[in-house]
Structure formats: structure tokens, C-alpha cells
Structure 1
Amino acid sequence: MFAAKKQGFNADETEVGVKVTVSQEYAREGQFPWTVVLFKNGRFLGGGSLISERVVLTAAHLLVDISKEALSVRAGEWDLASASETVDPEERNVSSIELHEGFRYSNGVNNIALLYLDRPFELNDFIRPICLANREWPSRPNRPNHPSRPDRCQVAGWGKRSFSDPHHSNIKRQVKLPLVDRESCQCLLRRTPQLGQSFELPENMICAGGEYEKDACVGDGGSSLFCSLDGEFQRYEQIGIVGWGVKCGQQDVPAPYTDVSKFRDWIDRSLARHCHEPLIDCQYMVPRKL
């Protein structure tokens, strides 16, 4: 269905690509402090999310045939072109890469990976991990004292402002996206000439987007799709990982994202193999002070 490309899944190089934000709004400095930038040999590669002081969650497609020695991770970043931000970003090398063993370039299934860093980041208001949606997220009920499923979530990253833009953004951008149910998403994607009526949305993907000029876009796969917890805007959970899509910001064309809740067992097993403590549950996350 899709031909493999270093930066994403493309049936046609001009049609389908890896994603980043195209919102007209910039994130504030220090906003979304789990967002990290990946570099390959010093060059911008993509995005990821800090899930603990020394572990980054990202997309597998970014890391195929790349050695750990070629990678570095920067946290606390806001403007890639500035050397005088409020707080200096920090950079770490990668000691281990773990790609999902079932990842397939052909359809983007199991597009998830973990990066283990050579040393932990020092946490502060500009560098802080995000918690992950748990296994019950897809069927989360609406009841008192229980996190409900939101209607809209967000993506933040340094990718292109639009599909035709030749360069990624230097300043971190953000966009709010509606969540789209699986049945509607598959139906809408089947209407695109790039995918057609035979397209089957993999079970471990969720969908968001489909609003004109509001989307993630080319150049920054691996970034997080995240939602506020119970309307508390300083507490967030990550529900998805940016992967691929049909162009960017087209009306009624949502994009699939790796469903993080479906990979919690895989993540937990990987952490255990690396002697890493269990991740903190979202309900115990403390709201961040601005």
C-alpha cells in the first residue's frame, strides 16, 4: 500500500507523508515540556516525548537503519534557531534503541519505538515527562472521579507549517485536533484516491484531525498526540504517536496515530528489560505550575 521512505510512508512522494504541526499558533516557551527533538548526526530528524528522565517514546519509522551513535535527543527546546532562550535546552546521547518487532513500513502498523538515554535529564519546568494513556483508555467510561475521553487533543512539534513548505519550523508549534472514531476515520480515508476502498485501518491506530488547515504535517513523525486530563490544562496524557497521513490539513481527511494504550504491555516489558522503574500513572501526576 505504501512504499517505504526514510521519513515516512509514501504511495506517492507528493501525497502521503510523516506528520508535524501546521497550526498558525506557536507554543509558548516552556509549554508542553515533554516534547523533545531528535537529531541524526546533528541534523533535525523528528520528534518524540519524554516519558521518564531517561526514556523517549517516538515512532519506529524514524529510526530504521540508524545507529544509536548517530542519534541525540534535546529537551527543553523552543526555538531551534535561537541560542538565548530563557532556559538552555539539554542534550543527551542514546545508549539503546528499541523498535517494535512487528513494525511494518508497508502500512505503518506497530509504529512505535523507545530510546534509552546515556544519562537522565535534569527535570525542571521546561523539561518534564508526560504520562501515558493506560490500557482501558479506548473504553474509558464517563463517570465521576474517572478520566473521561475528550473530544479534542493536541500535537506540538517543529515540523513544516504546510505540506508544500520546504522547511520545518524553528519554533515549536501546536494544533488542536478533533478525535475521530475508527469507523468514520476508515470511511473517510477510503474516499481518498491515495488509499481507496480497500484500505483497512489497523486495530492499533486511532484517528484525529480532518479540519481544513489544522493538522500535523510532513517532517516530524514521533511527536505526541496528547489530551488534557479532565479539563485540567496543566495535566496531560499521551494517547497517540504521530505517524503518517494523506497530505496535511485537508477537510474530512483525518490521520491515523499509533494508539499508545494498545502498547502499554510492550512498553512495560521493554522498561523491565532495561531495569527501569514502572511509569507513573496519570492519576498521580501533579499539575504543573506556570
Structure 2
Amino acid sequence: MVKLKKCIDTPKVMAGKSMDAKGRRRIYLIDPQWALGAILLSCALLGRGDPVTPCGDQQMCVSKDRCLPQMGQYRSAVCQASEVCCDISQVDESVDVTEGPSDAEDLCGMSNPRGLDANANASEDQAKFGEFPWTIALFHKGQYFGGGSLVSQNAVLMAAHLLADKSEADIVVRAGDWDLSSTEESTSHEERQVSRVVKHENFNAKTGVNNLALLFFENPLPKASHIRPICLPAAERSIDARCFVAGWGKKAYPDVEYSSILKKIELPIVDRATCQNQLRQTRLGRSFVLAPSFVCAGGEKGKDACQGDGGSALFCPLADNTSRYEQVGIVNWGIECGKENVPAVYTDVTKFLPWIEQQLKQGSNELMGSYRRLINY
């Protein structure tokens, strides 16, 4: 814990703004709970004390127009509306910072709990139209093959195993869709041709370790209520709430067809020791070891991600806003689907934040310049 007395000239918090004792910087505060964050951030910028900035080392939350466009940006739940995590060295000091963040519509991870179309009827196991705006359907040569999540207006996070034998030139991402068999939703979906694919360099197709990839496209998706990025997790945290997966995969393991309407699966996070022990009771055997890059969820009868959901996000509500979500996992693999006491395995996003951030930066730069026996979902 940072001791505030270590920070000389502690900032004065007043009228929704924070400024240092010499008047050198002002930071807009969205509400009183952000006052402490502003104090710590001011200390960091003044070189006094050793506070940790919300985004990570040498980064801070700033409005998007203050982060120089040559660098990548990523959305985090620690930032407010219209803000991104930005390298301190890339903050444009010439931009006026007296104005606060804009409309809450621009918050990452903000869901639409009631949906956006009263005429789009959804059953209990289906998402409402527009409920989870970050869900992405992936197509290869016109055929649906998996899911992903929007993490910026021109980047999708997904599972690397889905890219086997696929050319980036034949991959299309679709945002804002709900019923893949219909074009009659109240708001149209958007499609983008993938221009660049980045798989994690240490991905192991046999074990599913390091199973993640990013897809980039040149023309950013529009900002809309039914198309919005998911928040990346700020840090590892204890998750007490139940989480969700949304995807167009099978409803049950014996099914032949994928679901045409976006499914909504509510799941508990399963701790590592329990998950490993439960998976050892399956055909994986008593010697199975859960890799550090995995996180587990599920184990409830009839509730699970399944084949066709691969790459989709496992997302959990924020502690202070249950309508807003952060992505903690990527659908990776499992033993059949929906078996009691057999959780599914997800790529743990919190273990890959530096990699994701670096690829988003590099991807932005380049775009501006121009186990096999396991059932992969």
C-alpha cells in the first residue's frame, strides 16, 4: 500500500479536478472514489513515492485523443469512458485535459442487460440482441468457425487453435450480430476482412498452452451500442461472481448443428486445485497437470461452452458495476460439454496482458503504415 505522506505537495482534490501544488497538472475525476487514484498518479508523475498506476508500469489512463496515434492503446476497466491505457512517454501534453470523459456509451465492457430490440425474442439460454456487444463471429470462406471478442475498434482476441489451415485472406470478422441465420435484426452487423493475424509464439496445439491470437483489420469498426470492446482485466483478482460465455457453438455435445442465435451460458469460476483434481477423474488420468496459463469454469450439468464456442470470451462482472464486464478467459478445450464436475478449460487472459498490449501496439503501427486428444471447442 502506498503511504500518501511519502508524496510531497500532496495534490488538492477540488471541484471534480485534481491539481498539484504548483498547478502543473489537472486530472478530471469521474467520482470521489477516483480521488485516491489521482493522488497516486500525481505522485508518480512528480517522481515522489512509489505508487502503481492503474494501467501498469509507465502507463496511465488518458483520453484517446491524448495518446499519440503511432502507439497502440488498450481499454481497461480501470479507465473511465473515452479513456485508454497509454504509455506515459506517448501522452500528448498539448491537448487540453480540463474536460472529463464523454458519454458512458464509450465505456469498454458495458453490456445492454435488456437488449436493444424488444422484438428479438430470446429464451433463457440465449443472449438478448445487443446484450454483449463485444461478441464476434468468425467466418472462413463464408463458413462460421468460431468466436472472438472485440478488444479495440480494429482488433479481435481469439484462440490460436482455430487458425489451423486457415489463410488470413479468407477470414472475416462479424460484429454486432445475434442471429446468424437472419439479416432482419433492428441494427445491422458489420463485417471486416482480416489483414493481419498474430498467434502467440509459444502456442502448443497438443496441450492448448498459450492458446491465443489477435486478428487485425484496417478499417475500424464504428462505435455503436451493439458494437463495443470488452475490457481487459486490470489485474489478477479473486472472482466471487458467476461469469458468462456467449457464443454460437453447439448447445449440447451430441448436437450436429451450431446454434444460429447467440447463446448465453452462466458459469462459476473453479479454483485451480479443484479443477485439476476433477479433470484427473476423467480420461486425462491422475497425472494430469493444469498448466499455469489455464483458468477453469463450469462443472455444472448441462451448462458449458461447447464445440463452436472456441475463441469466445469468458467474461465476469466488475465488482462495482454488474452491468460492465472484463474478459478473464478464452474458450480453449474441454471433455465433452456440460458434464457435472468436469469444468472446461480457458486461456487465462490475465497471464497474457503484456503480450496482448504489445501486439496491439505493434498492430496499430503496422496498420497505420499500410493435447490433440482433447476436444478443442
Q: CA deviation at 1:199?
A: 0.8
For each residue in 1:243-270, what CA deviation from the matched residue of structure 2 results, as whole angstroms up to 9, or x when unmatched?
A: 1000000000001100001000111111
Please state if 1:275 is matched with 2:375.
no
More helix per residue: 1 or 2? 2
Among candidates 211, 230, 244, match of residue 154 of structure 1: 244
Among candidates 179, 182, 187, match of residue 87 of structure 1: 187
For each residue in 1:28-84, what CA deviation from the matched residue of structure 2 results, as whole angstroms up to 9, or x when unmatched?
A: 001100001000000011000000100000000001231111100000000011111
Provide the residue aligned with 2:200 in structure 1. Answer: 100
Please identify the structure whose Cα radius of gyration is greater.
Answer: 2
Please state if 1:198 is matched with 2:287.
yes
Please state if 1:29 is matched with 2:122.
no
Provide the residue aligned with 2:334 in structure 1. Answer: 245
Q: Which amino acid aligns with 2:269?
A: L
Q: Which amino acid aligns with 1:205?
A: F
More strand per residue: 1 or 2? 1
The secondary structure found in structure 1 opposite 2:161 is helix
What is the TM-score normalised by the length of structure 2?
Answer: 0.63
For each residue in 1:134-164, what CA deviation from the matched residue of structure 2 results, as whole angstroms up to 9, or x when unmatched?
A: 3x31xx3xxxxxxx62331100011111000
Provide the residue aligned with 1:182 in structure 2. Answer: 272
Among candidates 61, 85, 95, match of residue 161 of structure 2: 61
Q: Which amino acid aligns with 1:29?
A: F
Q: CA deviation at 1:198?
A: 1.3
Q: Which amino acid aligns with 2:323?
A: Q
The secondary structure found in structure 2 opposite 1:66 is coil
Provide the residue aligned with 2:14 in structure 1. Answer: none
Q: CA deviation at 1:231?
A: 5.4
- Do the aligned residues in 2 keep the contact of 1:150 with 1:227 (CA within 8 Å)? no
- Do the aligned residues in 1 keep the contact of 2:241 with 2:316 (CA within 8 Å)? no
Map 1:134-173 to 2 at 5 A.
Answer: 134=234, 136-137=235-236, 140=237, 149-173=239-263
- Do the aligned residues in 2 keep the contact of 1:51 with 1:130 (CA within 8 Å)? yes
Q: Structure 2: any 5+ residue segments left out of the alignment?
A: 1-122, 366-377
Provide the residue aligned with 2:231 in structure 1. Answer: 131
- Do the aligned residues in 1 keep the contact of 2:310 with 2:331 (CA within 8 Å)? yes
Q: Which amino acid aligns with 1:200?
A: V
Whole-Å separation in 1 of the counterparts to 2:334 and 2:142: 26
Q: Which amino acid aligns with 1:48?
A: G
Among candidates 141, 145, 167, match of residue 41 of structure 1: 141
Bigger RCO (CA 8 Å, 6+ sep): 1
Q: CA deviation at 1:271?
A: 1.5
- Do the aligned residues in 2 keep the contact of 1:209 with 1:254 (CA within 8 Å)? yes
Aligned pairs, number: 244
Whole-Å separation in 1 of the counterparts to 2:132 and 2:233: 16
Provide the residue aligned with 2:113 in structure 1. Answer: none
Q: Structure 1: any 5+ residue segments left out of the alignment?
A: 1-22, 141-147, 277-290
Provide the residue aligned with 2:306 in structure 1. Answer: 217
What is the TM-score normalised by the length of structure 1?
Answer: 0.82
Q: Which amino acid aligns with 1:113?
A: A
- Do the aligned residues in 1 keep the contact of 2:299 with 2:342 (CA within 8 Å)? yes
